[in-house]
Amino acid sequence: MSDPRYPIGKYEPHPYSESQKLKWLNHIRQLPTELEYAIQNLDAAQLQSPYREGGWTIQQLVHHIADSHMNAYIRFKLALTEDQVTVKSYDEKLWADLEDVHTVPVNISITLLHALHTRLYAAIVNLSHEQWNRTFHYPGKQAPVSIWFLLGLYSWHGKHHVAHILAFREANNL
């Protein structure tokens, strides 16, 4: 049985290629729509259900994706505009327990993600090979990482959490 924490596996970096770039950019562009479809027709009780045993609720998960991808957008912009910048980490578990996560409807984060991913995609779609190789210091990583690594990570991150919601739906015959 696969690990329910990683329904699509853990993130595996890939070397730069045009075909991989197009695939990951498409994931970035499509994530808000895929997430919107994944939660479509879930009622309030289902949104308040954990997506897996020991996991966040679906509502927390949707807001987490928005929080995480807002951080990603800032990280991309910092790495593109500053040399050897160290990006800040945040405690995602604490963020997932803040009041807004529990009281704001998920459609607000879905709307935010549509706008954010439009901006993110526009900011990175035409980067040069040299720009993809720009590096920055990422929390928890010993060596600097590239903007290319960040693209792959956030492409995976969106797919990873959509898969959590789809697994929840399947497990509950929704």
Confidence tier at 116 by pLDDT (50, 70, 90) = very high
In this structure, the number of other CB atoms found within 10 A of the CB of residue 62 comes to 29
The confidence score (pLDDT) of residue 66 equals: 98
Half-sphere exposure at residue 100, Cβ-oriented, CA atoms within 13 angstroms: 10
pLDDT exceeds cutoff 60 at 1: no
pLDDT tens digit sequence for 15-59 = 999 999 999 999 999 999 999 999 999 999 999 999 999 999 999
Average predicted confidence (pLDDT) for the chain: 96
Question: How many residues are given for the chain?
Answer: 174
Q: Is domain 41-171 annotated with CATH 3.40.50.620?
A: no
Angle at 59 between CA 51 and CA 10, to 5 degrees: 50
DSSP tag of 98? S
> How many Cα atoms within 13 Å fall on the side-chain side of residue 109?
25
**Rounded Cα distance, 69 and 82, in Å:** 20
The answer to whether the CB of 31 falls within 8 A of the CB of 162 is yes
How many CB atoms lie under 10 A from the CB of residue 32?
Answer: 23
Q: Give dist(CA 3, CA 9) in Å, integer.
A: 8
Burial class (CB in 10 A: 0-12, 13-18, 19+), 158: buried
Task: Give the position of tokens 């990006």.
Answer: 87
